């Protein structure tokens, strides 16, 4: 492999891990937000648990990584600058949304950025595998929040019926403990899906540079990405934890358990189908669904509206930003 390619892979790996660190501000925090918001777990304990189970989940499969790294844009048809531009764009968007405490999707920031830089680099829309993009990305972008809402609503409705004769004290004590397991399920499901996004990008760079011949995610890539996400959660996750675990709807332990259980089921289903969904989308709407079982006014819809607006804007804004960065870098290099 030429020296220039080696340098390119090193730069991309560093940027990708930086993105994963930023991703920890957003998406890893989502996995533990409800358990922290209901005081079932201390933040430090929840972060350690999330780190471990993210790592375990990330090692389970690589289907989502392949969708990101080779199912949208062919890695042999793009250059190092394409991937660098995409990562810089996604990092900028993550910093902006983190600063304002908006749980936007890091996954879709990365996907939108990859689209924009690849299209500008090739000068044609044909560089994108649009069928795969619409079936595995756009379709799930639309469906996963809706399914997440109804999953949370359904699980909470079942609990309300089953526990209708139980005392509030019993329900609180039981689900304060049970929510540890639902948070663990969320962390594992998050690792099985979201932690694979950046793995796909790094592996894409390795294939593009000729460092590896086939798209197989190396073990060191999996471990490095999982660790970077955990560190991001420890440093900056509290802003998103507050939005997700406190601001969207007031949660008791039973509510947090229902939201986590519903969201984890949706995410694991998507992972089995190799579809890269956003943990942010699913857990947000699952919390809304749980809150709606009390009454519609129990959900703070103004905050929900801001979150939805961030979802809608993420892919097009990141695609434009990444395209501009690719244009500038292309002129320089």
What pLDDT does residue 71 have?
A: 86
Distance CA 137, CA 148 (A): 16
Find residue 128's DSSP bridge partners: 73
**Per-residue model confidence as pLDDT tens digits over 185-227:** 988 888 888 778 889 999 999 988 888 888 888 989 988 888 8
Distance CA 141, CA 222 (A): 24
* Secondary structure of residue 165 in the 3-state scheme: coil
Q: Is the per-residue pLDDT at 88 higher than 90?
A: yes
What pLDDT does residue 241 have?
A: 57
Confidence grade of residue 285 (pLDDT, cut at 50, 70, 90):
confident
Average pLDDT across the chain, whole number: 84
**Per-residue model confidence as pLDDT tens digits over 245-266:** 455 556 788 988 999 999 999 9
Identify whether the C-beta of residue 10 lies closer than 8 Å to the C-beta of residue 193: no
* Candidate from 97-101, 223-227, 315-319 with smallest mean pLDDT: 97-101
Identify whether the C-beta of residue 194 lies closer than 8 Å to the C-beta of residue 27: yes
CB burial of 5-30 (b: ≥16 within 10 Å; e: otherwise) equals beebbeebbebbbbbbbbbbbbbbbb
Other CB atoms within 10 A of residue 312 CB: 11
Distance CA 167, CA 110 (A): 46
Q: Is the per-residue pLDDT at 127 higher than 90?
A: yes
Q: Is the per-residue pLDDT at 82 higher than 90?
A: yes
């Amino acid at each position: 492999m030429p020296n220039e390619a080696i340098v390119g892979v090193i730069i991309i790996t560093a940027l990708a891990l930086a993105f994963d660190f930023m991703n920890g501000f957003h998406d890893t925090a989502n996995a533990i937000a409800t358990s922290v918001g209901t005081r079932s777990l201390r933040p430090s304990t929840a972060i350690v648990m999330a780190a471990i189970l993210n790592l375990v989940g990330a090692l389970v499969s690589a289907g989502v990584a392949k969708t990101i790294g080779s199912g949208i844009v062919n890695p042999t048809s793009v250059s190092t600058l394409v991937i660098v531009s995409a990562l810089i764009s996604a990092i900028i968007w993550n910093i902006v949304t983190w600063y304002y405490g908006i749980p936007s999707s890091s996954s879709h920031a990365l996907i939108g950025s990859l689209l924009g830089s690849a299209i500008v680099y090739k000068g044609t829309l044909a560089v994108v595998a649009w069928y795969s993009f619409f079936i595995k990305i756009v379709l799930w972008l639309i469906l996963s929040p809706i399914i997440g809402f109804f999953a949370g609503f359904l699980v909470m409705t079942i609990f309300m019926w089953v526990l209708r004769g139980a005392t509030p004290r019993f329900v609180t004590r039981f689900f304060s403990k049970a929510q540890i397991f639902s948070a663990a399920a969320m962390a594992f499901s998050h690792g099985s899906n979201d932690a694979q996004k950046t793995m796909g990008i790094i592996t894409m760079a390795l294939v593009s540079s000729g460092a590896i011949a086939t798209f197989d995610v190396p073990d060191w890539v999996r471990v490095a990405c999982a660790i970077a996400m955990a560190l991001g959660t420890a440093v900056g996750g509290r802003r998103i934890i507050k939005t997700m675990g406190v601001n969207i709807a007031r949660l008791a332990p039973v509510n947090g358990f229902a939201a986590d259980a519903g969201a984890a089921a949706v995410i694991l289903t998507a992972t089995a189908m190799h579809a890269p969904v956003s943990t942010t989308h699913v857990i947000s709407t699952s919390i809304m669904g749980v809150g709606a079982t009390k009454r519609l006014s129990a959900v703070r819809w103004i905050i929900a509206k801001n979150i939805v607006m961030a979802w809608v804007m993420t892919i097009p804004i990141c695609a434009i930003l990444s395209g501009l960065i690719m244009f500038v870098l292309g002129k320089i290099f």
